[in-house]
Structures are given as C-alpha cells and as structure tokens.
Amino acid sequence: MMSSESEEKQNMDAVPEIAAPEDTESLRQALAEAQAKAEANLAGWQRAQADFINFKRRSEQEREEFTKFANARLMLELLPVLDDLERALEHVPAKLAGIAWLDGVNLIYRKFRATLESQGLTQIEALGKPFDLSVHEAVRQDKGEEGIVIEEIRKGYQLHGKVIRPTMVVVGNGEDTDKEEE
C-alpha cells in the first residue's frame, strides 16, 4: 500500500498546479514585457541593419568620388603646359606653317588634349555666353553687351562636371561699341 501512496504522490507532483489568478496576471505581464523587449530588439536590429546599408552605400559613393577626382591636382598642374602649347601654336609665323616638325607638334598637342579629355577634362565655353560666377572669373569690364562674356583671357576647365579652374573673362558693361565706331 505504501508503494501506491508514493506513486500517487509522484503523479500529483507531475501534474502542474493550476496557477492562481494573480500568478496568471503576472505571467501575462511578464509575457507582454518580454514581447515588448523582443520587438524593441528587432526594431533596433533593423535600424542598425539600415544604418549599415546606408554607411556601405555612402562609403562606395565617397570612394567613387575620390577615384573620379584623384587626378584633379595633376590636371591643374598640366593645364599651364596646355595653355603654353596652345599659345605657341597660335603664334607660329605663316612662313613656318608647312614645316614637318610643326605638324608633329600639332599632333602632340592633339594627343595631349585627347588624353586629358579621356580622363574627364572638358573646356568651359565662355565667349558670347552670359557671365556665370560658378564657371567664370571676371577680370574686368569693357564695352559690349551687358553681362555677356566678350573676351576670354584664360581658358577654364571642368573635371567630370566639377570646375577645377574657372575661365578668366572680360564682361560687357552695357556700353554700345557701335557708337564709337561711327
């Protein structure tokens, strides 16, 4: 008989106790707190993941920008050489026009310019255009149509659309040039 009593007692221990109403309420509250904490953790993880994706995208954009403009300093140092070469070719005496070495220098100039252009360098068009402070640098005003570039002193250039050297220009002051010529 004793063994059946102990078996009954063991079976009773195995049956879960029915929780009191207070215990049920505290369990519900603990479950709600755990769910809220899990949702907060999930939201935090999702924000961190979105932040990482944005950081990765921003880093890639910065790396592309750096690569694109890494040669800007070199381009700026080469531009005076290009200017000098252009000036020299513009002032060649007519009697030297047919000489073979001059044709060679012209070829070198065209190759040099093509190489710079292949790296993203473009000349800023200025003559006859409205003065634009973002791409032009006015050195003086003279007779001519007001606000229009009437002379180009030094060529300006952009690298991949970003101004690396503004065009030095003379801007019209609105005085009519025809009045003086008559």
DSSP 86: H
Question: For residue range 89-116, what is the model confidence (pLDDT) as tens digits?
Answer: 998 888 887 788 898 999 999 999 999 9
The answer to whether 77 touches 159, Cβ cutoff 8 Å, is no
Element (H, E) at 153: strand 149-154
Residues 133-142, mean pLDDT to the nearest whole number: 94
User: Which residues partner with 54 through β-bridges?
Assistant: none
Residues 6-10, mean pLDDT to the nearest whole number: 59
Question: For residue range 73-94, what is the model confidence (pLDDT) as tens digits?
Answer: 899 999 999 999 999 999 888 8
Element (H, E) at 171: strand 167-172
pLDDT at 19 over 60: no
Question: For residue range 27-61, what is the model confidence (pLDDT) as tens digits?
Answer: 999 999 999 999 999 999 999 999 999 999 999 99
The answer to whether 131 touches 169, Cβ cutoff 8 Å, is yes
Least confident of 55-59, 141-145, 156-160, 177-181: 177-181
What is the residue-wise DSSP string for 2-59? Answer: HHHHHHHHHHHHHSPPPPPHHHHHHHHHHHHHHHHHHHHHHHHHHHHHHHHHHHHHHH
pLDDT at 181 over 80: no
Least confident of 40-44, 140-144, 173-177: 173-177
Percent of the chain having pLDDT more than 70? 85
Per-residue confidence (pLDDT) for residue 182, from 0 to 100: 46
Sheet strands side by side (includes 121-124)? 121-124, 156-159, 162-165
Residue at token pair 């026009």: 97
Per-residue confidence (pLDDT) for residue 151, from 0 to 100: 94
For residue 170, the one-letter residue type is V
The answer to whether 180 touches 143, Cβ cutoff 8 Å, is yes
